[in-house]
């Protein structure tokens, strides 16, 4: 009886193996979706002038001081950005996110950047209120920023180099932005007007106080 049971088990095992061999089993699974990110580059480095930018060996364009390379799609992950001057930075580009890389003036042995996040690529461009942030990318001491308009005045104290304010909520409207040194808030070093709609916007403070080239570059975060 034990022998018959063993033989029956072996026959079942062989049958199972034969059926598995006949089955049409796919050799590969579904192809995973490409993980992408979208980033633009801003040249806030007055010491560079016009500069070429490549990412992982592929050129993304040339950009003058105060200029912008438009949003470009990249594979998500750590990407090596190299400037035509030989400077290089490693940029972590997050999956399905849109952002800005601000190239800073060189203040030490290694050139630095500020990486800003705007939104997820599938989020709507419009927002419930105007969103405005400031980036200190200038060769300047601590700065004082004043936003006046739409029946509201906002003061940002002690903006330090290589920092951003984060988005500030403002009513849509027309604003005047003025920048001064934190040590002398009465002396305006740069100013600009801004029409703020219910969208995200970034205002980059760049240039040099000593060279009297301080300026603001306002960007729509589309």
Average pLDDT over residues 16-21: 49
pLDDT tens sequence across 66-101: 999 999 999 999 999 999 999 999 999 999 999 999
* pTM given for the model: 0.83
Domain residue extents for the chain: 33-122, 124-222
What CA–CA distances, in Å, run from 70 to 39, 67, 219? 8, 10, 11
C-alpha dihedral, 32 to 33 to 34 to 37, nearest 10°? -130
In this model, does residue 120 exceed pLDDT 60?
A: yes
pLDDT of 156 reads 92
In this model, does residue 140 exceed pLDDT 90?
A: yes
In this model, does residue 33 exceed pLDDT 80?
A: no
pLDDT of 19 reads 46
C-beta pairs of 81-84 under 8 Å, 24+ apart in sequence: 81/41, 81/53, 81/54, 81/55, 81/113, 82/53, 82/54, 82/55, 82/57, 83/48, 83/51, 83/52, 83/53, 83/111, 84/51, 84/52, 84/53
Q: Do 33-122 and 124-222 share a fold? A: yes
pLDDT of 114 reads 96
pLDDT confidence band for 222 (50 / 70 / 90) = confident
Our measurement of the distance from residue 205's CA atom to the centroid of its chain's CA atoms, rounded to an integer in Å, reads 17
Domain over 124-222 is classified CATH 3.40.50.1100: no
What CA–CA distances, in Å, run from 74 to 25, 100, 102, 114? 35, 13, 17, 18
In this model, does residue 133 exceed pLDDT 50?
A: yes
What CA–CA distances, in Å, run from 191 to 47, 53, 134, 136? 22, 29, 13, 14
pLDDT of 23 reads 46
pLDDT confidence band for 151 (50 / 70 / 90) = confident
Q: Which CATH class, in words, describes the domain spanning 33-122? A: mainly beta
Our measurement of the distance from residue 178's CA atom to the centroid of its chain's CA atoms, rounded to an integer in Å, reads 25
């Amino acid at each position: 009886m034990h022998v018959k049971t063993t033989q029956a088990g072996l026959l079942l095992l062989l049958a199972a193996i034969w059926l598995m061999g006949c089955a049409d089993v796919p050799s590969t699974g579904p192809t995973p979706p490409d993980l992408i990110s979208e980033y633009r580059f801003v040249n806030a480095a007055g010491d560079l002038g016009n500069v070429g930018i490549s990412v992982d060996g592929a050129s993304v364009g040339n950009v003058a001081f105060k200029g912008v390379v438009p949003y470009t799609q990249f594979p998500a992950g750590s990407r090596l950005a190299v400037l035509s001057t030989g400077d290089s930075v490693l940029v972590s580009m997050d999956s399905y996110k849109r952002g800005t890389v601000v190239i800073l003036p060189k203040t030490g042995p290694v050139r630095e950047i500020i990486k800003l996040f705007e939104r997820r690529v599938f989020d709507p461009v419009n927002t419930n209120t105007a969103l405005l942030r400031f980036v200190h990318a200038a060769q300047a001491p601590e700065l004082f920023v004043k936003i006046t308009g739409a029946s509201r005045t906002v003061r940002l104290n002690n903006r330090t180099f290589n920092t951003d304010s984060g988005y500030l909520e403002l009513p849509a409207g027309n604003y005047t932005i003025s920048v001064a040194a934190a040590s002398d808030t009465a002396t305006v070093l740069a100013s600009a007007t801004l029409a703020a709609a219910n969208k995200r916007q970034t205002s980059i403070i760049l240039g040099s106080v000593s060279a009297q080239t301080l300026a603001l570059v306002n960007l729509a975060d589309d």
